[in-house]
Amino acid sequence: MHLYEVRLSRGRAHRDFATFLENANSLNAKSPDYGGISSTCLLAHHQDAETVQLLLSRGMESNASDIHIKEITTKTLASNQSGHIVYSELIDNYFLPYNKFSNL
């Protein structure tokens, strides 16, 4: 299983946001905060990042390149450059108790 940070360019202002949100919700993506998914979500999946990008872009009229995916790993959680440290509490409380991740 892999844990991904998913970002949609322009967030709620993106013309295909509703389709993206529907796809993200169907894959059990979680908002990184209590505000709901706007431009960023976290997603656990057993497929690689390219396949997850295809799943998230189903039915979207715009280019799938508007969806940016980074895997969250032990290294990126420890790095100040990735910004993944802000997701630590969500990862510890929601994802780790229920899944086994190969890179965490």
How confident is the model over 50-90, as pLDDT tens digits?
999 999 999 999 888 999 999 999 999 988 888 898 999 99
pLDDT grade for 20, boundaries at 50, 70 and 90: very high
Q: Of 19, 22, 21, 34, nearest to 94 (Cα)?
A: 34
Distance CA 97, CA 92 (A): 7
In a domain, 6, yes or no: yes
Q: Of 35, 5, 41, nearest to 20 (Cα)?
A: 41
pLDDT digits (tens, 9 = 90+) for 28-61: 999 998 889 999 999 999 999 999 999 999 999 9
Q: Which amino acid is at 72?
A: I
Segments forming the whole domain that contains residue 64: 2-95
- Euclidean distance between the first and the last CA atom of the chain, given in angstroms as a whole number: 10
In a domain, 84, yes or no: yes
Q: How many domains does the chain have?
A: 1
Matching residue, tokens 């013309």: 15
In a domain, 16, yes or no: yes
